[in-house]
Structure 1
């Protein structure tokens, strides 16, 4: 069969189905890659003979490029065409993945990861814009429900697939696997997606794009460095200050634009503020738990990674099924109602886990199920509602904003809740310090960090006599549970307050959402 036949125009029904597959597929590839790479980091460090601190940039280079380019990518999609932007995004991401897989030094790998981040921003913003433009009314709810399920599958399957690929084929294939997937999605997008753009978007707001990207890069770097090294560092404070100044300059520049990259008038719309807040809360109190829950389960109930994966099913299954229920509920409830229900479920699930953390796995599993259902309802619904409150011709801007809020919420959850976890462990160690042998000879700050990452036992080796290790590990276990309960309690409060704020803000809107 020739290439011409492969990319020939399909029937209308098949075309719309392929649009859904293509837009969901690129999001799946991005999410799957992120989770696969996280599992592969230790193997990468050993293979490329790099210190693990250097390998951390395998994640950070991708994150910084991705977050810095999200909004400019949405503007590019509106200006030059969403289909074209989607094609470029898939092509850049796929080629960068091949570069990563063929890398022989950590520098080559990190350059490839930065290019992946640029491609991911282009294709994700374009995919959501295409999805919002192609499907309207009840079809939009079903489309975003499907998108949410696909994202949930990628988040759930990523660590498992990553472990299998890394163990069986090597870490290089965690990247090279994107080559055939990307090629297939490129062909699918080429033959099915109809080009659309903002007809009034006369030129690209380059100044706004640069200022916004620089501001987000500063904030993201500050959050990453603050989470790893502490927020009291002068360099972290300077990054936050630089980000704030750049954001003020961005706002000033956008107010002078006739057709700005971000229409600041949206922030006068209570509905837009409400759904953006719901997106932030979803990412920071629900989606972030795909990182925290495995660490908690493996450090508390199960030492075997395989058993930990199975123990996550009460969270994973409703996370996958939730978007489907949201699509059904949308026939009877408004978007406002579904968002509030999802956030309240998230609050209840987090609170249950916080209460049951020191008890049995059964009660934790009940909390995970409730949390997973809330996350599943919010996953696709937050994206759908955020597209609904923005004019159709600005779909690229809407998708860029939605993706930015989702990512920023995730980053805040990882760093902010991580700081809560560390503070809780530190507080527990401070209370138990007098009962610990040789406490004055051990750097407690370093000990707390290793407790949070589950590496205390190997770190203590050689620092204290083996006879005293058992008491340290017991204290560390209790401190970890205390810190994790505090983390989940904070997440519950944030979700509950966000539910109240979303209910009020969307209730003030003149739009029926």
Structure 2
């Protein structure tokens, strides 16, 4: 059984503030360079390959470490791993601020991703541990709002500081905030573990980190051509190493990831919805600044302000989602969120180089409603679909699905939108095709989630009969 402690309201409040604040900082760091890629690439002398890695490197760190850090936190202490992650986020930010050339910056971004993964996975697990029953819906709603607020703060932080001083100041600010977060975590968080007394599955963690890293690297290199020897080699290597990971998990006495968890349709549903969220709205919003700046002649600051219509609305709706009655199932919330995103993407699928601001704002705002509902619901479903002893692993599985989906989605969006010698017209036309693909994927995912809900209901009904 998960070790519990008696929590006062002040202790619970401190846990929520630090865990949610950590997620806000992690997402701010994730999105900070999205509106200033040309400035970063130009200052560092990055070519097309390095620029692609500038965009993808933090996703790589997140995907490598989300599931691993959550599972390790369950066993060695979620507070301990959270604080270590905050410190690593600060170190990666320092490397980014001081980077003399692009690959140092990329390494810093990977370190940021690994640190942010520990903060996100263990922060949500700490919230699950601290807030039982109905209180958890309110707490995860606040956590989801911070997940949505980060994409509002990050691009503004990067673009404004780049305009008034230098983009490097954004990373200096992130470094300071990372140190503050680590100190607050040590002071305000209460340690929790699964209480199972299991050893950390080091080989499993290594297999998973290497396999996921190879997969994300293959996706990034694939943007230049899927038939290149490097992209093919990375992808084949990922398949081999991940297969070895699964084989190891079936044979290990104390596996890092209990594969039996995936017999639960609720966990599969939440993980699939997280993957589609990453592959559609997160991927599209990660690329849209390029469309606004290079295809529609907006400045970096103007693009960041326009994106507030998505991220700001999303943060607000995550807070409001806690008022939805508990009798409304998580699967129904996920399906509605996905369909709402699809509706918001419709006006963004018919853009022209001179599209009115109202068209952009309307699409961003409606998509923001769906994103906010998904962020709040995924936070709850990620830990509801697993036993309390596996809260960190559940959080890691869900968020790893989100950012692997984001890396996959950005690859697809880039391939569809970027056309050689297409200019502004070609970029916008390619973007429209990518958005249409995103709409189709959201609608299909909503159907799959509802079907999985029916499977979960049949499973729950069969359990008492099986016990008897």
Give the alignment's TM-score, normalised by structure 1: 0.81
1:506 aligned partner: 453
2:391 aligned partner: 395
Q: CA deviation at 1:59?
A: 4.4
1:485 aligned partner: 432
2:463 aligned partner: none
1:169 aligned partner: 165
Q: Distance in 1 between matches of 2:46 and 2:385?
A: 47
Q: Distance in 1 between matches of 2:104 and 2:364?
A: 40
- Superposed, 1:89-108 pairs within 5 Å as 89-106=85-102, 108=104
Tell me which of 179, 185, 195 is aligned to 1:199: 195
- Superposed, 1:353-502 pairs within 5 Å as 353-355=348-350, 360-422=356-418, 446-448=420-422, 451=423, 477=425, 479-502=426-449
Q: CA deviation at 1:53?
A: 4.0
Q: Number of aligned pairs?
A: 453
1:432 aligned partner: none
In structure 2, relative to structure 1, the CA distance for the partners of 1:342 and 1:179 (3 Å cut) is: same
Secondary structure in structure 1 of the residue aligned to 2:196:
coil
1:31-57 CA distances to partner (integer Å, 9 max, x unpaired)? 112222344544444545555644554
In structure 2, relative to structure 1, the CA distance for the partners of 1:190 and 1:24 (3 Å cut) is: same
Secondary structure in structure 1 of the residue aligned to 2:318:
helix
- Superposed, 1:67-466 pairs within 5 Å as 67-106=63-102, 108-227=104-223, 229-299=224-294, 301=296, 303-355=298-350, 360-422=356-418, 446-448=420-422, 451=423
Whether contact under 8 Å (1:330, 1:338) holds in the other structure is no
1:138-179 CA distances to partner (integer Å, 9 max, x unpaired)? 211111111121122210121111112223332332222123
If asked which structure has higher relative contact order (CA below 8 Å, sep 6+), I would say 2
Q: CA deviation at 1:271?
A: 1.3
Give the alignment's TM-score, normalised by structure 2: 0.89
Q: Distance in 2 between matches of 1:44 and 1:349?
A: 31
2:3 aligned partner: none
Moved more, 62-71 or 105-114: 105-114
Whether contact under 8 Å (1:335, 1:381) holds in the other structure is yes
In structure 2, relative to structure 1, the CA distance for the partners of 1:295 and 1:262 (3 Å cut) is: same
In structure 2, relative to structure 1, the CA distance for the partners of 1:373 and 1:85 (3 Å cut) is: same
How much is the aligned-residue C-alpha RMSD, in angstroms? 2.6
Structure 1, gaps ≥5 residues long: 1-9, 426-445, 452-475
Structure 2, gaps ≥5 residues long: 1-5, 461-468
Whether contact under 8 Å (1:282, 1:379) holds in the other structure is no
Secondary structure in structure 2 of the residue aligned to 1:24:
helix
Whether contact under 8 Å (2:35, 2:290) holds in the other structure is no
1:15 aligned partner: 11
